[in-house]
């Protein structure tokens, strides 16, 4: 099956919308978004991408954002199944890649269990796109042979992270959902032995008109001196020093 073949009635496509700019959609994402009956989308999906929806397509917001109440995951799965059973051609649109901190796995399992036909279209994940916009290579031969993607939500008191093991195994750490917890994350990493001068970048709203990059040290981050609003990607490690600014920044 071609990934960009038109959806059949009753089929669901779990589609990665990329980080924001419509130019970073895959060809399959672009053609499915512009030819479907229903788009069930996350809060993170940009207006520019949603503007590509077919005229007449129904747009249903179903995202969670910053702790605000929204549809539960079970409700979202039920809605997708319901729409498909009604014969609709459904695009389930998620920011970045559906399987990177996106709960796409749960939705796919629910669809499979309900016997719904579906396909999966990967997207460019923010953890790669945001550093690229800032001119930061997520791997650099002289810096790292490993790379970790993490969620900043885990940096709570009952942290599931083994900070020492992380600091040892991964010279470069890329955190999603880390804007609010950055001081705590940085403190944990300092506690695990990382150098106070370790460079940190925080990139807000990458690839959109609101994009903003701030850089500093781990010590500054721990002190709360490095801030950005959500959504933001935090990247920690010496690759931040290899940064080459290649676009105008505000």
Residues forming the site for ligand SAH (CB under 6 A): 19-20, 44, 94-97, 100-102, 125-126, 130, 176-177, 203, 205-208, 230-233
Residue 177 designated active-site: yes
Work out how close the CB of 71 gets to ligand SAH at its nearest, in angstroms, rounded to a whole number. Answer: 16
Work out how close the CB of 85 gets to ligand SAH at its nearest, in angstroms, rounded to a whole number. Answer: 26
Which of 4, 52, 64, 161 is catalytic? The answer is 64
Three-class secondary structure assignment of 138-198 = CCCCCCCCCCEEEEHHHCCCCCCCCHHHHHHHCCCEEEECCCCCHHHHHHHHHHCCCCCCC
27 CB-near residues (< 8 Å, 6+ apart)? 4
Which of 42, 94, 97, 133 is catalytic? The answer is 42
Distance CA 238, CA 136 (A): 10
Residue nearest to ligand SAH (CB): 96
Pick the closer one to ligand SAH by CB: 12 or 134.
Answer: 134
Residue 94 designated active-site: no
Pick the closer one to ligand SAH by CB: 97 or 107.
Answer: 97
Pick the closer one to ligand SAH by CB: 88 or 204.
Answer: 204
Which of 88, 94, 97, 177 is catalytic? The answer is 177
Residue 115 Ramachandran class (φ > 0 left, ψ -120 to 50 alpha, else beta): left
Phi then psi dihedrals of residue 27, to 5 deg: -60, -40
Work out how close the CB of 208 gets to ligand SAH at its nearest, in angstroms, rounded to a whole number. Answer: 6
Pick the closer one to ligand SAH by CB: 75 or 229.
Answer: 229
CA dihedral (233, 237, 239, 243) positive or negative: positive
Work out how close the CB of 29 gets to ligand SAH at its nearest, in angstroms, rounded to a whole number. Answer: 13
Residues recognised as catalytic: 42, 64, 177
């Amino acid at each position: 099956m071609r990934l960009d073949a038109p959806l059949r009635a009753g089929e669901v496509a779990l589609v990665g919308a990329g980080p924001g700019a419509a130019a970073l959609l895959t060809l399959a994402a672009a053609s499915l978004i512009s030819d479907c009956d229903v788009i069930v989308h996350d809060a993170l999906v940009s207006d520019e991408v949603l503007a590509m929806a077919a005229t007449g397509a129904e747009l249903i917001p179903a995202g969670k954002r910053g702790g605000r109440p929204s549809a539960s995951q079970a409700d979202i799965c039920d809605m997708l199944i319901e729409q498909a059973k009604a014969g609709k051609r459904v695009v389930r649109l998620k920011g970045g890649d559906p399987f990177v901190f996106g709960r796409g796995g749960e939705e796919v399992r629910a669809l499979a269990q309900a016997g719904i036909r579906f396909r999966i279209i990967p997207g460019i994940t923010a953890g790669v796109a945001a550093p690229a916009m800032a001119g930061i290579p997520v791997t650099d031969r002289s810096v790292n042979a490993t790379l970790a993607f993490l969620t900043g939500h885990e940096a709570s008191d009952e942290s599931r992270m083994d900070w020492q093991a992380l600091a040892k195994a991964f010279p470069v750490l890329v955190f999603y959902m880390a804007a609010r917890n950055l001081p705590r994350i940085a403190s944990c990493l300092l506690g695990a032995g990382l150098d106070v001068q370790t460079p940190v970048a925080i990139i807000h709203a990458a690839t959109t008109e609101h994009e903003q990059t701030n850089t500093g040290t781990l010590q500054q981050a721990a002190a709360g001196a490095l801030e950005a609003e959500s959504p933001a990607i935090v990247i920690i490690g010496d690759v931040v020093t290899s940064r080459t600014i290649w676009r105008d920044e505000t």
